[in-house]
Structure 1
Amino acid sequence: MNFSNYSRKDHTDKLKNDTFDVLVIGGGITGAGIALDAAMRGMKTALIDMQDFAAGTSSRSTKLVHGGLRYLKQLEVKMVAEVGKERAIVYENGPHVTKPEWMLLPLHEGGTFGKFTTSAALRVYDFLAGVKRSERRSMLSVTETLKKEPLVKKEGLKGGGYYVEYRTDDARLTLEVMKKAAEKGAVCVNYVKADRFQYENGRVTGIEAVDQINGSRLTISAKKVINASGPWVDSVRKKDGGENGKQLRLTKGVHIVIDESIFPLHQAIYFDTPDKRMVFAIPRDGKTYVGTTDTFYEQDPIRPDVTDEDRAYLLDAIRFMFPSLHVKESDIESSWSGVRPLIYEQGKDPSEISRKDEIWESESGLLTIAGGKLTGYRKMAETIVDLVAKRLKEETGIIYSPSETKHLPISGGDVGGSAHFPAFVKAKTADGMAKGFSEDDARFLVQMYGSNADQLFAHKHEDKLLPDVLYAQLMYAVEKEMAYTPSDFFIRRTGALLFDIKTVHQYKEACTDVLADYFGWTDAEKEKHALELEEEIAACS
């Protein structure tokens, strides 16, 4: 069965007619990781999300699979060790969506990090995270620091730290994990909302859900239900009769995007703000993006706003660290805002709250997982599926195998590991050129889709309404990635809304026409989805 909403009735019929070992509520990176881990162990697995996959926090992060250097400052030693090691695993299993990014940490008089403490912290970081020799930190002189990035503030500069983080496309990482879960037998369906739990003798046995596309109701039966709904974790727990124990506190993170012609950053930077927070500035695809803010957020997490104050804060931060630049609000091409679901700790500021994950088990048997970081998704999934396996063994006597995801390439990741990815790109680019794509277009598709690139090369066409690459991406997104709306495509399948807004404006009508024809939308449905995209464009502008 294709992983496509064209086959939606087949997917929802399976949800209705089968009894699952595990049902996951939430299609972000945590839920996707759980679905993959469970399916790999032979558990009959289902996953639903009330929106598109990765529509919440998992498409709104800083887009770094990082080891959490700043958590050393809070003495979160175990967490740094674990996520640092997981970072390398994420990279090896999907080098097409994650890559090393050298990070410069400028050191100034009066800054958060001193030269000695930074050197010591980075050395400890290398040790805890098991950083390979070629990526271990070095300390730079003032001259070396300015050579790496001449835009950095010279006044009070004492040198810099230089170390490796990993950059990713968070939404595409989520999708590649989800696609691998589906390939392994999990039934994963977007736009299905959990409405109320089903019980038998006080134990959760499934949910009654609502199809958000056609309004129909369906009952999904499962031996174990996992609430991995991110910012909505507490609202899902309420449906189960309460929020006993710890609760979430949402914090908002905002990022802004500026063209490289205005902010010509050559080197990713991790820097102090005047109020002693730490912010990233990262070059990507001809743009520079800067973030993140960290403030408590009390409103609806569906589409968190980017306020004038948020933009002003980040612009001030840029001017502070890069004083030769004269950036202004009109230079911001796009922005995004996401909320982090953190375990509430009374009296702590947003940036001080731990990013550790926790698991709750209610009296009804509902399992909830919350907190954590993008980097640690695989380990979080392993931990909670271990618990599911234990409970199923107690209740049914069936013994499931241990986790098998540590060395499992995600969808698109069958490239022979990170060391062989450059050679893979070179060879596969030639295949794309043989199909009629230009060298640049073929290379772009291989680098973005890895071992799935052949499926995009199959969509070379003569229709000049859309460029070759965009048409191939669109058809692949609807046939193999469950994309349904223009927003799904331009935000979470391609990232164009954030990093290539001109393409969105130029081709939004043509792409909407293709989708309307493919899915057989009525005029009203087409207008609705076109309006949704316009609202997303307005929200990020």
Structure 2
Amino acid sequence: MEFTNLNRSAIKNTFQSDSLDLLVIGGGITGAGIALDAADRGLKVGVVEMQDFAAGTSSRSTKLVHGGLRYLKQFEIGVVAEVGKEREIVYENGPHVTTPEWMLLPFYKGGNFGPFTTNVGLKVYDFLAGVKKSERRKMLKPYEVSDMEPLLKSEGLKGGGYYVEYKTDDARLTLEVMKKAVEQGALALNYMKVTDLIYEGNNVSGVICEDMIDGSVQKIKARKVVNATGPWVDNLREMDGSKKGKTLQLTKGIHLVFDSRHFPLKQAVYFDSPDGRMIFAIPRDGKAYVGTTDTTYQGDIAQPKMTVDDCNYIIESINHMFPEVNISFDDVESSWAGIRPLIHEEGKSPSEISRKDEIFESDSGFISIAGGKLTGYRKMAENIVDLVTKQLYEEFGLTFPKSQTKHIPISGGDVNGSKGFESFLQDRIKKGVECGLDKSVARKLVYRYGTNVDEVFNNMKNTDTDLDPVVYACLRYAIDHEQAYKPVDFFVRRTGALFFEINWVLEHKMQVLAFMRNEFNWTQEQTNMYQEELEQLIYEATNPVA
């Protein structure tokens, strides 16, 4: 079934009529990964998400598929080994949306890292994470560090380490995994909120959902129900009456975005803040983004906000490490705030808490997965589906094969891995230029959509609207193939423009609103509400709260 809200009623009817083996609550990267693994093994699987896909933590991270270097400091050897290997799988299965990024780790007198410990640490990291030869760490002299990033302070500089992280667009990665799950037969629907659980005897056998678009309510039955709702995991455990033992500790992280005119960063840098925490500064498409904070959070989970203190912390950290830049709040172009759902550990600060994932199973058979990292989503999904298929065999005699997701390209990623992507990229950039695009725009679209870019290019040939041709092509694709329903879906999750091209959003927001209103036949009340929602996000991206 097409992955579009133009078919919303038909998708809802199929949820109603199909007998599901597995229902996943939560449409972030974990839920998408579970859906893909389950669908590929032949389970009838559905996903419901109360907001848009990736609207929570999965669009608000540092946008790195980490190799886990920071976990080495906490002696989490197993985590480093696993996430390092998983990172490679994520990259090879979707090289359009995940790309290697050389990271500079400067060390200073009195800093977190010194030449000896960095060299040993990175060497151990290369070994544990199975880093390929071409991406193994290099050690740099002070002058080499300054050549690579002239904006770094020179006082006390003792050298640097140089190693590879992987940059991604977290929301697009989530969407590409979800689209692949749907291609494999999964059902998925955004704006469907679980308001209650259904039981047969003492066992969970489904959910009651409220459609957040039209207010209608429906039951969805399933043999197994998995709670993959990230920061909301404990809310659903409470609904099941099984929130006991370990619980979540929510922490908040914010990122600031600057135009390269104000912060002309050449090289991605992982550096010490004045209080000893580590911070990333990453160049991206003519911008630089910097983060993150790590503070305990108890506010509205759906709408975390950047405070003046958060903002000042990042700005002070930038000016401490890049003194010539003289960044002030006036230079901030955009920002985002996100929530990390960590497993609570008594007496530990947010930065010290393990990022390991854990599975909780209640007496009613309600399965929850919490914690974990973006990088480990595929392995987390495999573990959940292994558990579900074991239970389906024991309880119903159903058998399913083992996971194959190590070798399944996600949507847009079917290019024979990273090596095949290079020639694909050049070929499609050429096609984009033939469509009348600037080379840099064509390149950006190929990286955004991978093999699906052909459809986007085709949309450019068929435009008969007032919209800019590129806006139309991307919006048409987002509506028809990525279940976008509101302007915020398009500007935040489908394009990332609210974070990295906010002026583009300001320029096109009213035309996009008008186009979507006609597509979905919104009432005036809906139109006003969705416009207000977008305006609020634009405001929050540029205005911290006290």
TM-score by length of 2: 0.98
Taking the aligned partners of 2:411 and 2:425, their CA distance within structure 1 comes to 16
Q: Which residue of 1 aligns with 2:38?
A: 38
Q: Which residue of 1 aligns with 2:138?
A: 138
- The superposition leaves residues 472-497 of structure 1 with CA deviations (integer Å, 9 ceiling, x where unpaired) of 11000000000000000000000000
Q: Which residue of 2 aligns with 1:388?
A: 388
Task: Report the Cα offset of residue 100 of structure 1.
Answer: 0.2
Task: Report the Cα offset of residue 468 of structure 1.
Answer: 1.9
Task: Report the Cα offset of residue 26 of structure 1.
Answer: 0.3
Q: Which residue of 1 aligns with 2:504?
A: 503
Q: How does 1:81-480 map to 2 (within 5 A)?
A: 81-460=81-460, 461-463=462-464, 465-480=466-481
Taking the aligned partners of 2:242 and 2:443, their CA distance within structure 1 comes to 51
Q: Are residue 531 (structure 1) and residue 544 (structure 2) matched?
A: no
Opposite residue 457 of structure 2, the aligned amino acid is F
Mind listing any 5+ residue stretches in structure 1 that lack a counterpart?
Answer: none
Taking the aligned partners of 2:15 and 2:272, their CA distance within structure 1 comes to 49
Task: Report the Cα offset of residue 443 of structure 1.
Answer: 3.0
Task: Report the Cα offset of residue 206 of structure 1.
Answer: 0.3
- The superposition leaves residues 515-535 of structure 1 with CA deviations (integer Å, 9 ceiling, x where unpaired) of 001111111111111111001
Taking the aligned partners of 1:49 and 1:151, their CA distance within structure 2 comes to 43
Taking the aligned partners of 1:133 and 1:310, their CA distance within structure 2 comes to 39
Residues 71 and 80, structure 2, Cα contact 8 Å, conserved in 1: yes
Instruction: Give the match's secondary structure for 1:503.
Output: helix
Opposite residue 371 of structure 1, the aligned amino acid is G
Task: Report the Cα offset of residue 446 of structure 1.
Answer: 1.6
Taking the aligned partners of 1:470 and 1:439, their CA distance within structure 2 comes to 16
Q: How does 1:71-90 map to 2 (within 5 A)?
A: 71-90=71-90
Taking the aligned partners of 1:509 and 1:72, their CA distance within structure 2 comes to 48
Taking the aligned partners of 2:54 and 2:311, their CA distance within structure 1 comes to 24
Taking the aligned partners of 1:221 and 1:379, their CA distance within structure 2 comes to 26
Instruction: Give the match's secondary structure for 1:458.
Output: helix
Task: Report the Cα offset of residue 425 of structure 1.
Answer: 1.2
Taking the aligned partners of 1:321 and 1:504, their CA distance within structure 2 comes to 31
Residues 463 and 472, structure 2, Cα contact 8 Å, conserved in 1: no
Task: Report the Cα offset of residue 467 of structure 1.
Answer: 2.3
Instruction: Give the match's secondary structure for 2:65.
Output: coil
Residues 253 and 295, structure 2, Cα contact 8 Å, conserved in 1: yes
Alpha-carbon RMSD across the aligned residues, in angstroms, is: 1.0
Taking the aligned partners of 1:335 and 1:439, their CA distance within structure 2 comes to 27
Residues 341 and 370, structure 1, Cα contact 8 Å, conserved in 2: yes
Task: Report the Cα offset of residue 441 of structure 1.
Answer: 3.5
Taking the aligned partners of 1:3 and 1:195, their CA distance within structure 2 comes to 24
TM-score by length of 1: 0.99
Task: Report the Cα offset of residue 462 of structure 1.
Answer: 4.9
- Structure 1 pair 488/72, CA: closer, same or farther in 2 (3 Å)? same
- The superposition leaves residues 123-168 of structure 1 with CA deviations (integer Å, 9 ceiling, x where unpaired) of 0000000000000001100011111101111111000000000000
Taking the aligned partners of 1:74 and 1:90, their CA distance within structure 2 comes to 24
Q: How many residues align?
A: 541
Mind listing any 5+ residue stretches in structure 2 that lack a counterpart?
Answer: none
Residues 441 and 469, structure 1, Cα contact 8 Å, conserved in 2: no
Percent of pairs identical after alignment?
Answer: 58
Task: Report the Cα offset of residue 465 of structure 1.
Answer: 3.4
Residues 126 and 136, structure 2, Cα contact 8 Å, conserved in 1: yes
Q: Which sits farther off after the overlay, 51-60 or 439-448? A: 439-448
Residues 36 and 186, structure 1, Cα contact 8 Å, conserved in 2: yes
Instruction: Give the match's secondary structure for 1:127.
Output: helix
Task: Report the Cα offset of residue 57 of structure 1.
Answer: 0.1
Instruction: Give the match's secondary structure for 1:521.
Output: coil
Taking the aligned partners of 1:183 and 1:12, their CA distance within structure 2 comes to 17
Taking the aligned partners of 1:258 and 1:41, their CA distance within structure 2 comes to 44
Task: Report the Cα offset of residue 447 of structure 1.
Answer: 2.1
Q: Which residue of 2 aligns with 1:488?
A: 489
Residues 437 and 468, structure 1, Cα contact 8 Å, conserved in 2: no
- The superposition leaves residues 344-396 of structure 1 with CA deviations (integer Å, 9 ceiling, x where unpaired) of 00100000000000001100000000000000000000011100011001011
Opposite residue 22 of structure 1, the aligned amino acid is L
- Structure 1 pair 366/265, CA: closer, same or farther in 2 (3 Å)? same
Instruction: Give the match's secondary structure for 1:144.
Output: helix
Opposite residue 83 of structure 2, the aligned amino acid is V
Opposite residue 422 of structure 1, the aligned amino acid is E
Q: Are residue 515 (structure 1) and residue 512 (structure 2) matched?
A: no
Residues 281 and 289, structure 1, Cα contact 8 Å, conserved in 2: yes
Opposite residue 49 of structure 1, the aligned amino acid is E
- The superposition leaves residues 378-427 of structure 1 with CA deviations (integer Å, 9 ceiling, x where unpaired) of 00000111000110010111111000100110000011210121210111
Opposite residue 500 of structure 2, the aligned amino acid is F
